[in-house]
A and B are shown apart, each in its own frame.
Chain A
C-alpha cells in the first residue's frame, strides 16, 4: 500500500512543472559541476604525473656535484587530486599543489588553482556537494510545499486524510516521495558518474569505493532532513504563505547565513597568526643564510659534538655545519609551522562542531572529509613531503660528512648516491585515518536527523482530517 501511495505522490510531483523542472535543472547543474571538476582533476593529474617523472629523471641525471648542491637542487613534489575531487573539491582550489623540497626551507605548497582566478571563475566554482548541500534543501522544500502545503490550502489534504486508513502513512508517503525523487535525481546519477570516471582513470581502489558509498549515503541522508522539515513545516504552519516564508527563511538562515557566519566565528575565536608573522619568525629562528657570528657559534657547537679542539679535525666541517643548521631548522619548523597547521585544524574542528547550529555545516565538513579534500588530507601531504625532504637532505649531508673535504679538496658524488633516494610517491590517507573534523560533524548530522524525524513522527501522530 505504501509503495502505491509513494507512486501517486511522485506522479503529483511530476505534474507540478515548476517544482519538477527545478529538480531536473539542479540535477543537470550537479552533473555539469561534476564534469568540470573531473576534467580539471584528470588534466591536472596527468600533468603532475608527467612532470613528477621528469623531476625524478632530472634528479637521477643531475651529474656529478657536491651532495649539498644536490640537496638544493632536489625535486618538486606534486599533490595528486583525490579520486572523489569531482564530487567535492573542498579546500583543493585554495591550497597549493606543488612544493619544492629544497635544503634549509620548508617551503609552502604553491600554485593554488584559484590564486589568479577571475571573478567569473571564482563565482562559478561549485561542486556536486556544494549544490546538493546548498541548493538541494531549497528544491526539496519546494517539493514539500507542493505536496503538502498546497494540498492543505486547496482542501485536498483534508479529503485524503479522511479517506486514509492510517493518516500517518499518507505523511510518510509524501516524505518518501520527496526524499526518493531528490536522492534519485541529485545523488544517484552523479554517484554513478563518479564510479565510472574513477574506474576508467584507474583510481577505483577499495578505499575510493568505500568513500564513494559513504559520500552517497551522507548526501541521501542529508536530503532526508529538508524532506522531513519541509513536510513538517507545511503540515504545522497555519497557512501556505506562512509555510513558504518559514521554509524560505529557514533555507536562507541555515544554508546561506549560518555556515559563512560560523566560518567567520571560527576565525574570530581561534584566530591564526598572519603569514607575515609566521614567516618572519621562521626567518629569525632558522635563517637559510646565517651571519658570521652564527658561524662562530656553530663552530663551538661542532667542536663539542665532535670532541675535537680544532675545526680542521672534523672530516668535512662545512657539511657538518650545514647538517647542524638543517637539524636545528627541523625543530623550528615543527614548532612554528606545525603549531600553525595545528591551529588551522583546530579552526576546522570548531567549524565542524558548529554543525549543531546548521546541518549544512555538518554536511560540508563530512563531505570534504569523505572526498579527501579537506585540510587534514592536505596536511597529510605536507607532512609526507616534509619527511621526504628531510630524509633527502639528511642523506646528502651524511654523505658529505662521511668524506674528508676542504675548500681546496671538495667532495662530490654522482648518480650512485642520487639513486639511493627513492622516488617521491604519495599515498593518500585511508578512510577513517583523518577524522578529526568528521566525528563532530557526524554527531551534529545525526542530531539533526534524529530531531527532524522525531518531530515529524510526533506531528504525524497528531494529524487529523
Chain B
C-alpha cells in the first residue's frame, strides 16, 4: 500500500479544517476580544493624552496669569497697596522658584500603544516638576480604580498573552482528537499513513488557518482602535513577527502534548495544566522567590529617613549655610546675611544636602528595581508568556524601561531648572538687584519667566524597539520548532486502543 504524501494529506486537512465551525467560532471570539482589548487601551491612552493637552493649556494660562500679576505689582507702594510678600510675588526670583514654578514632565504615547497596556495603567505618565522636591519629582500617580488594577484590564496584550494560547489549546485539543474520540482513528491507523505524518499535517492545517487569522485580527483590532499603522510600521512588523513566534511556541507545545494522540479530555487537561503553570504558577513562584531572596527596601523606611534627614538638616541649617557660603567665593563675604535669607533661598542650599544624605537609600532602592527588572527579563525566557508580555509592551512603548527613562528625564529636567534658577536665586544674596527709585509692590528681581528650560521626552527610534524583541522572537520560534520536532518524533505509534 502506498502512503499518501505530506502534501496530499495537508491539502485535504486544510480543506477539512477550514470547514470546521469550531475553528471559526474560536477565531471569531478571539478576534472580538482583540478588538475590545485594543479599543479599551486606546481609550485609556486617549484620556491620558487629553490630560497632557490640558496640562499644556494650564501651563500657558499660568504663565499669562503670572504676567498679569507682575504688571499689576509694577505700581508704587502705598498704605492701601503694600509691598507684596515674596511668596506671593512672581517677580521675586526666590518666590518664583518655590511658589510659582508650574512645569510638568509628560510621557506621550507612541503610535502603537493600543497593542499593550504595559505599565501605563499604573505608572504616572505626567509629573509636576518642582524645584525643591527631593531626588526628582514627588511621588504621584493617576488614580485608577484599584479593583480594576488588581483584576487587570482587558487589553489586547492580555488577549494575546493569555487568551490566544487558550484558543490554540481548544483548536488543537478538539480538532486533532476528533477522529480518536469518534472511533475513526483505527480507520486512519489501518492506512499506510504514519502517525507523525498524520499529526504533523493536521497541526499544520490548523496553523495555516489560525496564524493568518490571528495576525489579521490583530491588524483589524489596532485599526479599530484608531492606530495609524503606517506611522509605526517597524514596530508593527516586529509585533506581527512576535505574535507569529508565540503562536508557533504554543503550537509546538500542543504538538508535543498530542504526540501520543490522546483523547480530547487528555489533551486539553495536559495543555491546560501547562497553561496554568506558565501563566500563573511559575510567575507566582518566581515572584515569591524573588521577594524572599531580594526583599525590596521598605518605602516606609524611606519616609522615616527623609523625616530624620529633614530634621537633622533643619536643625543645623545655619551651620550648613555657613559652610556652603565659605566654599563659594561669590558668597564668602555675604555670610552676615544668612539669618535674613528667605525659606526658598535656603532650600536652594539645603535640598541638595538632603538629597546627598538620602542618596545611599535611594541608590539601594534603584539597585533593587534594576535587579528585579533583570530577573524579570531572564524570567521572560523561562516563562514565555512573561517575555511575550514584556516584548509587546516594549513595542507599544508602555514598558517599564521607557517609564524608567521618563522618570530619569523628569529628574534631569528638574536639575536643568535648578541650574537655571538656583544661580539667580543665590546671586540675590551677595548682589541683590537694586530697588527702583520709587519702591514698587513687586520686587522685580526676575523677568525671564518665559525663558525656562522646556521638557522634552523623545522616544528611542522605532528600529531599536523592534530590534530589542528579536532575540525573544527567535527564542520562541526555536522553542516551538523544538517542541514540534520532539512531538513528531514521539508520535511514532498509534495509540494501543486504536491500533
A interface vs B, CB < 8 Å? 18-19, 22, 25, 29, 32-33, 35-36, 39-40, 43-44, 47-48, 51, 54-55, 58, 76, 78, 89-91, 93-95, 97-98, 108, 110-112, 114-126, 131, 134-135, 138, 142, 145, 149-150, 239-241, 244-245, 248-249, 252, 256-257, 259-261, 263-264, 266-268, 272, 274-278, 280, 289-292, 295, 340, 344, 347-348, 351, 364, 368, 374-375, 378
Q: List 15 A-B contacts (CB under 8 A).
A: A32-B284, A33-B288, A55-B307, A58-B311, A119-B376, A121-B372, A122-B122, A123-B283, A126-B284, A245-B170, A245-B174, A260-B153, A266-B148, A268-B43, A295-B88
Asked if B60 is an interface residue, CB under 8 A from chain A, the answer is no
Contact between B154 and A142, CB atoms less than 8 A apart? no
Q: A124-B288, A241-B174, A289-B88 are in contact. Are A111 and B300 (CB under 8 A)?
A: yes
Which chain B positions have C-beta within 8 A of A119? Answer: 376, 380, 386, 389-390, 393, 400
Asked if B2 is an interface residue, CB under 8 A from chain A, the answer is no
Which chain A positions have C-beta within 8 A of B436? Answer: none
Contact between B298 and A115, CB atoms less than 8 A apart? no
For A271, the closest partner residue in chain B by CB is B47
Asked if B193 is an interface residue, CB under 8 A from chain A, the answer is no
Which chain A positions have C-beta within 8 A of B87? Answer: 289
A32, A276, A290, A340 — which one has the most chain B CB atoms within 10 A of its CB? Answer: A276
A90 to B43, CA, bound (A): 25
For A142, the closest partner residue in chain B by CB is B269
- In the complex, which of the residues A32, A90, A108 contacts B140, with contact meaning CB atoms closer than 8 Å? A108
Q: A111-B300, A241-B181 are in contact. Are A277 and B69 (CB under 8 A)?
A: no
A261 to B40, CA, bound (A): 10
Contact between B150 and A90, CB atoms less than 8 A apart? yes
A93 to B99, CA, bound (A): 34
Contact between A135 and B54, CB atoms less than 8 A apart? no
Contact between A44 and B300, CB atoms less than 8 A apart? yes
Specify the main secondary structure of chain B where it touches its partner.
helix
Contact between B276 and A138, CB atoms less than 8 A apart? yes
**B299 CB → nearest A CB, Å:** 4
Contact between A29 and B281, CB atoms less than 8 A apart? yes
Q: A98-B303, A261-B36, A289-B99 are in contact. Are A276 and B162 (CB under 8 A)?
A: no
Q: Restricting to B371-406, which residues have a CB under 8 Å from any CB of A?
A: 372-373, 375-376, 379-380, 385-386, 389-390, 393, 400
**A205 CB → nearest B CB, Å:** 23
Which chain A positions have C-beta within 8 A of B280? Answer: 29, 126, 131, 134-135
A263 to B149, CA, bound (A): 9
- In the complex, which of the residues B84, B143, B162, B287 contacts A36, with contact meaning CB atoms closer than 8 Å? B287
For B143, the closest partner residue in chain A by CB is A275
For B299, the closest partner residue in chain A by CB is A111
Q: Restricting to B273-306, which residues have a CB under 8 Å from any CB of A?
A: 273, 276, 280-281, 283-288, 290-292, 295, 298-301, 303-304
**B141 CB → nearest A CB, Å:** 7
Q: A111-B303, A245-B174 are in contact. Are A124 and B283 (CB under 8 A)?
A: yes
Asked if B74 is an interface residue, CB under 8 A from chain A, the answer is no
A33 to B287, CA, bound (A): 10
Contact between B287 and A275, CB atoms less than 8 A apart? no
Known pairs A98-B300, A108-B141, A245-B170 / 12 extra A-B pairs, C-beta < 8 Å: A18-B270, A29-B281, A36-B284, A58-B307, A91-B147, A112-B122, A126-B284, A150-B265, A240-B264, A261-B36, A275-B141, A351-B147
For B140, the closest partner residue in chain A by CB is A108
- In the complex, which of the residues A48, A123, A364 contacts B300, with contact meaning CB atoms closer than 8 Å? A48
Contact between A248 and B170, CB atoms less than 8 A apart? yes
- In the complex, how many residue pairs between chain A and chain B have their CB atoms under 8 Å apart? 248
Q: A29-B281, A135-B280, A267-B145 are in contact. Are A240 and B307 (CB under 8 A)?
A: no
- In the complex, which of the residues B146, B369, B379 contacts A91, with contact meaning CB atoms closer than 8 Å? B146
Contact between B150 and A347, CB atoms less than 8 A apart? no
B interface vs A, CB < 8 Å? 22, 33, 36, 40, 43, 47-48, 50-51, 54-55, 58, 69, 73, 84-85, 87-89, 99, 122-123, 126, 139-154, 158, 162-163, 166, 170, 174, 177, 181, 263-266, 268-270, 272-273, 276, 280-281, 283-288, 290-292, 295, 298-301, 303-304, 307, 311, 369, 372-373, 375-376, 379-380, 385-386, 389-390, 393, 400, 441
Which chain B positions have C-beta within 8 A of A95? Answer: 146
**A79 CB → nearest B CB, Å:** 11
A29 to B280, CA, bound (A): 9
Contact between A276 and B288, CB atoms less than 8 A apart? no
Contact between B389 and A135, CB atoms less than 8 A apart? no
Contact between B272 and A276, CB atoms less than 8 A apart? no
- In the complex, which of the residues A58, A111, A116 contacts B369, with contact meaning CB atoms closer than 8 Å? A116
Shortest 7 CB-CB contacts between residues of A and residues of B: A124-B287, A91-B146, A111-B299, A94-B146, A260-B154, A120-B376, A124-B283
Q: A124-B286, A351-B147, A374-B147 are in contact. Are A51 and B264 (CB under 8 A)?
A: no
For A18, the closest partner residue in chain B by CB is B269
A295 to B73, CA, bound (A): 14
- In the complex, which of the residues B85, B99, B303 contacts A51, with contact meaning CB atoms closer than 8 Å? B303
Which chain A positions have C-beta within 8 A of B288? Answer: 32-33, 35-36, 124
